[in-house]
Amino acid sequence: MDIKLSNLTKIFKDSKGRETRAVDHFDTLIPNGKLIGLLGPSGCGKSTTLYMIAGLLTPTEGRIFFGDDDVTDLTPEKRGIGLVFQNYALYPHMTVRQNIMFPLENLKIEKEEAKIMTEDMARLVGIHELLDRKPAQLSGGQQQRVAIARALVKKPKVLLLDEPLSNLDARLRLQTREEIKRIQKETGITTIFVTHDQEEAMSISDEIVVMNFGLEQQKGEPQVVYDQPNNQFVAKFLGTPPIGLFNGTVKGNKLYIGESAILTNKILEKTQGEVIVGIRPEGYTPSESGALEISYSFIESIGRDISLVSNHPESLTPSFRLIVADTIKVTPNSMKFNVKKEKCFVFNKDNGERVL
């Protein structure tokens, strides 16, 4: 079942009548059976969107469709969704079994059948030996799985996860995100999850939707969005270490950073004057005759590669990182580089739209 958001808008009003547009005419289509990451910085409207899909928030404007059905005016219990809250919201006074069975009891499913469904679900998420414990006796990762089991046990049409990994430590996070991917594949359920962690979103999503200011910035497969960002925001938001941004100028078909001409491309002829240049950290090739001279303050060894903490007079940030293979002989203080053209993006200085 596809999920379609059409013209979705949510305006919050505070007590003084000031308006905040959390979600602003948001349109998107979430295809059936896919795992979709809603990605964006805090305050970009991604959680608001999720809660509107869940039915816990009412849209100010716009419609939500599950398949062909308009569910905008349905209450959460009638939408057939499973929701995993950021801090799980497990009922503290119930055992794991009672927590998972709770939705089934509400749907008046026969007790014996509910018991079997609960145990099957517990086995699927790998917590069947913890069924008689209380949530307080479980670790964060186990609570997370109970929450997923509770959301999935009633066989919802959509699974929604709100920052599902944010309460877990780094190691557990890796493990749990694989787990979520596995459970999603096994059940084939359309899943939407919200995160501000681009690495998390990119690693498990079939598609990501990058949001900012309540608007969709770009949607697509993670690698495509990374390789072909629509605008400066998307380019900046995806990737660790983040992309390096520079003031640049276009003269004729040449792109300059400071005095150095780093690229030549015919498309640039349409855009003359000042632009913003973004270069991915891995987009530099050391070369003695390189166009761009970059000085660096120190070297971080990150195992396989070397990360140079660099600075440049035209950089928009005080420092940026570039990554080179550790086989490269690093000379002290500064080096010359050529720029890989597929790792270099040019953006309009005024609106951040991609030019090249």
Partner 1 sequence: MLEKKKDYHAWLYLLIPLALLSLFTFFPLFKTILISFDNGYNKWQDAFSFAFSLDSYKAIFNYPPFLRTLWNTVLIVFISVPLSTIVALLIAVALNSIKPLQKIFQSIFFLPYVTNTIAIGMVFAVLFNLHTGLINGVLQLFGVEKLNWINSNDGFFMGSYFRRMFVLQLYLLWHTLAFKILVFIGGLQNISKQYYDAAKVDSAPKTRVFTKITVPLLSPLIAFILITSFIGAFKTYDAVIGIFGADWNKTADIQTIVGFVYQQLKTDSVDSYSKGAAAAVVLFVIILAFTAINLYVSKKRVHY
- Interface with partner 1 (CB under 8 A): 54-56, 75-77, 81-83, 85, 87, 89, 91-93, 102-103, 105-107, 150-151, 154
The Cα–Cα gap between 355 and 265 comes to 11
Nearer to partner 1, 19 or 105 (CB): 105
For 283, residues 6+ apart whose C-beta sits below 8 A from its C-beta are 322, 339, 340, 342, 343, 344
Least distance (Å) between residue 8 CB and partner 1: 19
Identity of the residue, 101 or 346, whose beta carbon is nearer to partner 1 in the bound complex: 101
**Nearest distance from C-beta of residue 12 to partner 1, angstroms:** 15
Q: How far is the CB of 307 from partner 1 (least distance, A)?
A: 40
Q: Which is nearer to partner 1, 88 or 284 (CB)?
A: 88
- In the chain, DSSP finds a helix count (H) and a strand count (E) of 9, 20
Shortest spacing between CB 62 and partner 1, in angstroms = 21
Cis peptide bond upstream of 241, omega within 30 = yes
Round to whole Å and give the CA distance between 356 and 347. 7
Q: How far is the CB of 49 from partner 1 (least distance, A)?
A: 16
Minimum distance from residue 352 beta carbon to partner 1 (Å):
36
Q: How far is the CB of 100 from partner 1 (least distance, A)?
A: 10
Nearer to partner 1, 83 or 235 (CB): 83
Alpha helices in 58-95 (DSSP H): 76-79
As a whole number of angstroms, the distance between CA 294 and CA 299 comes to: 13
Q: Which is nearer to partner 1, 93 or 111 (CB)?
A: 93
Distance (Å, whole) CA 260 – CA 248:
10
Q: Which is nearer to partner 1, 93 or 251 (CB)?
A: 93
Closest CA relative to residue 257, chosen from 238, 279, 237, 236: 279
Q: Quick one: which of 128, 176, 180 has its CA closest to 152?
A: 180
Q: How near is the Cβ of 103 to partner 1 at its closest, in Å?
A: 4
Q: Residue 83 Cβ, how far from partner 1 at the closest point, in Å?
A: 5
Separation of alpha carbons 18 and 40, rounded Å: 24
How far is the C-alpha of 213 from the C-alpha of 348, rounded, in Å? 19
- Give the nearer residue to partner 1 in terms of CB position, either 65 or 85: 85
Q: Which CB, 106 or 297, lies closer to partner 1? A: 106
And the tokens for 262? 């780093």
The count of other CB atoms within 10 Å of the CB of residue 16 is 5
- Distances from the Cα of 342 to the Cα of 17, 228, 283, angstroms: 48, 9, 8
Question: Which is nearest to 323 in space by CA: 288, 278, 281?
Answer: 281
